[in-house]
Structure 1
């Protein structure tokens, strides 16, 4: 397995190390030098030895470029990031989950392999496994290994319940992801198990979290604040601080991706935060989302007009930018809005709020006191 990745990135070229969040910019001339050196069986050039020693503390002196550095070819388009719901199945049943009904279904292993090669060929460098719960998919270990072999920097979004499994943990220690983002649903078993609607969930999570932290994996905690666990918000923050891991908080619950509102009552009103004005995003242009069946969309919210990557391959992504632009147009209840220039949600998100008949205050300035609208 390679130790480094050299890859084009938009109009630049990067040097990366699997499992590390650090990236070094290198000139095009040095990228092409590595490409030639790998093909000709040459040793690592002096500049590479020095750069790697400084950035990651590894010594490549006398090492061949081939087998040490995976030099990736340019992608067809500008897509450098992607996220994949390997499966919607989950071992938790959280009442606030935006996925709604979580059916365990998706591609077979052959389809998953074709998808991962297509994602690589598209030029994706940063690749996120999510779900559902990705670690419960029977093909996850093989898919994770293949994504590593193809030269993608991997992030995991997980509930952490399977990190206590020695085989899963050993895989992640052998090939560490650049980050593992774990959702936290409470600070006590009573609250955690009630929110996830799974007895024993808290104990499984804490065992896996402790093992991952001791193993030195790069953990990031997402503190999910709802009306069921809001009384433990301070305790969750203190827990993250004791572990010495970074954490973020999420309290703004959205409707399901199907535009239904059963998730919204789980919000804790006093913990809702004011979103920053929406000024655009790279969805569909440099980023895309893939569902369990291999259908690519601009993001996890804007799933209309998806592209079947398994059958169409990379060529299908040529349409994604146009789809993104069309989905971002202010239509329906938002067309002609005088506050659209300072709107705090994108059009696909506003659409599912409207379909769910959610109160305006959840997503629109028109539903807020005038003194809060800026």
Structure 2
């Protein structure tokens, strides 16, 4: 148990430092005159058609050269932490050049991905480029996950997770809370532990895009959310839980820093 506690304390320090970069801690001693964190939807293209997707299907995307100019501006502005999302970021043919340029500028980077495109080769490239976090979405076990994200996606996602872990990449299992798959939550946490992951991000369904039509049907009620918190507390000594759920229902043990909770796209 002492070993687990030591690891957890170390992980919490790492996450604290990273989240501080995301301007989540806004006490008197952390006031900022300019932003240091950016969320960048680098493409709207995606290889899946998830029923709860909040992204917009926009035509066209920035060229590599335009992306480099954006990175230059981010660097000049003092940004040193960027979340790359989509769409599916790994669909860009130039994604590794973009990641390399971000690293060249000293900007820490994390990727939000569905994980289905992460082959062994891609995982090796992500490791070489020293990507800080790989956030991979897994919303339930096979039946639940594929009802949301499409047929034959579960095994591909699990394989993508394995490939990242084999390269010792920092994988954050990202779970979207929905009424139709909430019964799988505890099994997903067990899955994370079994695979050697130590961080899980819990996010609420967003009433944006296709998620808007599902929100009333799939959003959790107060009692269901309390049960979620109960489950998360049960695993909090083995996993670092990064919550993005309705603030009033979070126990203080799951709230970070000065009372803010994690936020991302």
Distance in 1, Cα, partners of 2:191 & 2:246:
26
Secondary structure of the structure 2 residue equivalent to 1:242: helix
Aligned length: 206
Contact 2:108–2:132 (CA under 8 A) maintained in structure 1: yes
Higher helix share: 2
Contact 1:195–1:229 (CA under 8 A) maintained in structure 2: no
Distance 1:193 1:79, change over 3 A: same
How much does 1:268 deviate? 4.0
Which of 98, 112, 116 aligns to 2:71? It is: 116
Runs (4+) of structure 1 moved beyond 2 Å? 20-23, 101-105, 265-277
- 1:249 aligns to 2:202 (yes or no): yes
How much does 1:159 deviate? 1.3
Q: Return the index of the structure with the highest Cα Rg.
A: 1
* Match in the other structure for 1:263: 214
Residue ranges of structure 2 left out of the alignment (5+ in a row): 1-13, 18-32, 227-244, 249-257
Distance 1:22 1:215, change over 3 A: farther
- 1:192 aligns to 2:163 (yes or no): no
> TM-score under structure 2 normalisation?
0.68
> TM-score under structure 1 normalisation?
0.50
- 1:211 aligns to 2:190 (yes or no): no
Distance in 2, Cα, partners of 1:280 & 1:230:
26
Distance 1:185 1:200, change over 3 A: same
Cα deviations by residue, 1:228-263 (Å, 9 ceiling, x for unpaired) = 32222221111012123111322x3221169x8313
Distance in 2, Cα, partners of 1:266 & 1:242:
28
Cα deviations by residue, 1:262-290 (Å, 9 ceiling, x for unpaired) = 1313334354367226x998xxxxx9xxx
Distance in 1, Cα, partners of 2:39 & 2:108:
12
Cα deviations by residue, 1:166-197 (Å, 9 ceiling, x for unpaired) = 1x222111122121111112222x3222210x
* Match in the other structure for 1:83: 39
Which of 159, 170, 190 aligns to 2:124? It is: 170
Superposition RMSD in Å? 2.9
Distance 1:153 1:225, change over 3 A: same
Distance in 2, Cα, partners of 1:272 & 1:96:
19
Distance in 2, Cα, partners of 1:266 & 1:93:
17
Which of 101, 124, 139 aligns to 1:146? It is: 101
